[in-house]
Structure 1
């Protein structure tokens, strides 16, 4: 191989300095040839000028040396003429130093402490030469201005690590002077980005001595994620999810099945610490997926969480109800099958808690989300489990299985009547079961409220009464064997009458099912946050599966079908999240009803409610408002309720007309008892039963004065009776607060 362009420009003057000593006058031709070659290789103007000047000098010296030798003069004179020729060659070499490409600074074979070789002696000498030439001096090329004369680079050190090359040093000046060299100046000299130059902060160093670090060559950043590799999920997890700002910080992923970047399963593990609740929306953002493509499955250990990423959803084809009909009956733990989890396991829903009462259920779902189908399935499960049902359906004619209910309030007014009946039944059982002993001889009761927002929202004419009744039911009905299933269209607080009590009691007392909601109304964050379902946005559940629009357009529409059964995969009906107490919301899909629930019930009459005062007077109770005109003072006992239903003045009404505005509590559960109890309020024998009834009914500790005010008598009549009850261990006293034992 011939010499490179740089080698030719650099070493041509040396040849011109030697040729005149041999070729004599013919060296002029050699100089001309060198200039022509420099022009041919496209040399820059400064290089060409330097080469011409060097060529003229060396050629003149060569001609003079040739003449001296030809005339027979002393050869030492001819040898002396080589000195100016060498000086010209050295000047040309120095002119070339400021124009060496940046690649020359970082040769791949250079190492710190390399010995002197051909051309440049070492990498450190090149760096120092550039510094002296452009920044500090003392030499200065004509037409070039030094950045700061005297700002020398001391303690130069070179660092080479693979593709990374950097040098460090200290910029020093005599005492009393200040370093004025800036990062941009150094970057311009060494032809690197300003971001690769770092100067010491003058606040922390002497003004005449600042450390400097220059990254001459930065190693190329290696990609952290390799597309298409089997370990892509682990790498994605480590980079975006397991980091401190990720959805599951401190976790690592173990992939158990991998069929592509959008179809894999794995287990997230956190070292000896619980993972806790996971924000599904944040996790989907970390993995650059839609929330519907990710399913979480809590593991047996709190430090583990199952993860599933799906290209085609595992629940697209659904599960027919008729194929799992035998699983709809309640098991020994009080659970029924509500659907199928995304991992193909049965999704179980609690309807009762054997040994302690019933369970609540909070159901959210917008139009065409599958909410009514799930309610029909719950009615069928209750029927097969011998659970009586009271149904309140403000929107008439929406529940196909309404005939399975023992009492159905169809329509707004009738639904409010069903709500009153459920409350009366709870009061009746409270009067009959002072100390509940399970199992009940009476059947469990499930009170189902569909479209509850029509009763509870502020725009409802029954807003105040319905809110007061539902709050009391969700608080007190479970231990009396009455569970509440409340269904609304959105998780917004407005749908529950802006009552935090109702939703908290529903979630504590049972489970929750979240189906698709209208856009902008399905977020479970902020004021609508639900523990265990953080980050879920129900409006992100699609109404149809991806590609469904194309599937519909490709169907054969040439004929008209009179009877067509909708396939489960035609929509996302019943797709949502199931939340049970103490767990994470898990993606599931309710069962698909291919036939009406009444047909699946197999005939038979609905499960009847026990024969009691509330049930016998159900029609009258359904028409009796339970609050006053201001929507306050909810009737608190069955005796008052039956008295109000019969139109007789109850103890509550008497309290409104009492001069002191005191509330008199009835002493018996029979309708005739209130008057007798009120008339004998001063009788000593009737005070103790009334005290016990008050303390058991209120379930809160009270002072003797408070008990006296509620019973409409004086404290001096109450205190001796409390002492007697305490001796019989029927009441307790803690710091002056009395409660039933």
Structure 2
């Protein structure tokens, strides 16, 4: 026979006598010696009389009518042994204490602390008896779980025990009969299944079916929610379905029930859950949010209200709209966010672009890689916008994207108005300008853009096709708001250049990576076109930032996301209502890199970027790519000094010799991680500095002798040290390896 576990709670009629039996012995034993002599003697006498009465009851000599007069005869009978034991312990403590005073009470109640004495033995025996009494009364003192045989299943009309004839009879007796709830509304067809049965209801000709779910539920003894109707071929016909068990949304312990009770009424009306199941990735639940039949699409939820309705926290709830079906979304409620511990950078292999130009920058809560698109083989370069306040992990995302571009054979032009926000990116870049000189990087990028525009027109190219000598180019602009101040001439120039690259760069193989704290137009020099071209024309990475940014992002999948609600730290312990210095302070873990990423064709979900402290170990200094298709690349430092707008605006070089032809091209996946080494001219020039017999040379001396710029010289020295051709004795001092 099967068993079930039930919780048994004591009735108050049993609990009160039990509590009195446990509390009275030590309480009266301690208090009686402290009373006035007369009152103490009266108390002692009362305990003696009580013991005598309970002893009489124990041996069954108390009259039945006397017990019935108390109203709790059953309790007195059930607890007769414990009541007698309690009264004897009370008499033993109170009676002598009334005459011998507090000394006796102390000896009895705390004498066990001196077990070698007579009083200690007596005290230990007394407390042992009191403990045995309390243990015996435990069922009457507190709730407890017990195993009992499972009750037999009762069979009723709604359980499915009835066959078709029985179902017809119940309908005729209680619904369609003369005395039924809906006379004349007959059940004319029926189909019985395991979980439910379905029938056809017909009304008399000229009348419509008006049978209610309440009437059917009452007749078959099931909740009204188990009864549903669908229209038939005409108003006088309807199909009725009766479930034998209530649907999951009626059970508050299920995810469907929680949704129906807490979310559906106010947060996402007209929706229900489907295929709810345990999510092994998070230890919680995952389900489809589906629009009801009379609702055209799933409403966009307010994430804060959704989290509040589910009684959870912002980092433990993720809602993901379906990329192509407006009637569906995915809800995930987590026990623990798998992103909290972070995911260390697995290695450069995760950054290798797919055939469609996608790279993985981190991991989503579902376990799926969080991807963005660097380029599209058919459409060209894809722009990227990264938004997040200081401390949100913005720099880490930029570093990962830049490393992916570098390893994929893209030429990087870097601009950093803050000045050395990320030195590793400077090491990957073909050209980099920081601080007040950042505008120079944009001028170089703009000159390259102009050249590629003319080359595209000359060659009649419709779509960009990258080659090893005409690579993809990534233009990185960190803290963009610092260089797009429209009140300055350089700010106007920066906005002009960025607008041009955003509008024209895709078809010319030039990716624009905008990195900023916000996406407001006023933070981008007032250019809404720049924001639209970058976000709509590529990928969006949204980290923690201002809540108002959510209204400015029109990319599918970001609806309802509040970037201001992303916490700065993972959920910590609740703050105590009353503070005490005894409460330890635990350091919260930061949520850097936590946010959302959206890219064409990719689902927008909560994600966290790889944890990569420094990209330096993965940089290939011997494979820094530059736009070799541009003949004026050697003049880039001069070009960087010429404003792109105004009377001295830059004009493209007269040297329009075409780059080596290679129109037949697939995205350079096969060569991206095995790059052709750079021309050895710089290496040879540096090594020549040691051929005159010099044992050592400073970096400054080498620069003067070779005429190399600082960037090229630094990269060359690093590569030669790595290859073992020279060795660095100390910073700035080198020696040729013997």
TM-score under structure 1 length normalisation: 0.49
* Larger RCO (CA under 8 A, 6+ residues apart): 2
